[in-house]
Amino acid sequence: MDISQNVNVVLYGFLVWLIIAPRLGAERYGDWFLAYMSALLFSLIASSEIMMVKPVAFFFTVGGVFAFCYVLARSMVMIRIRK
């Protein structure tokens, strides 16, 4: 179960979870973010249970964890340029 063999699955997971992520300007962003976070948590728990049988599901969810960290960083860091 080497990660170098499953890099493309991690990348696919990152892209899919990034598309699912709530947008910053959404009306109920907090509710959407909570749903996104809990869906990722349940997916990670479920895929860790079947990791020995289907490691692809686990690596897909690892890509989702990277997407979650990216969404957190994107919402925390705001760069504003004022003239």
Going by C-alpha positions, the residue among 59, 72, 77 that lies closest to residue 29 is 72
| DSSP secondary structure code for residue 22 in this structure | P
**Which residue, 5, 12, 3, 18, is CA-closest to 60?**
12
Give the span between the Cα atoms of 27 and 13, in whole angstroms: 26
Q: Where are the domains of the chain?
A: 3-76
Q: Is the pTM of the predicted complex or chain greater than 0.85?
A: no
Structure confidence by residue, pLDDT tens digits, 3-39: 678 889 889 989 998 898 888 777 888 888 888 889 8
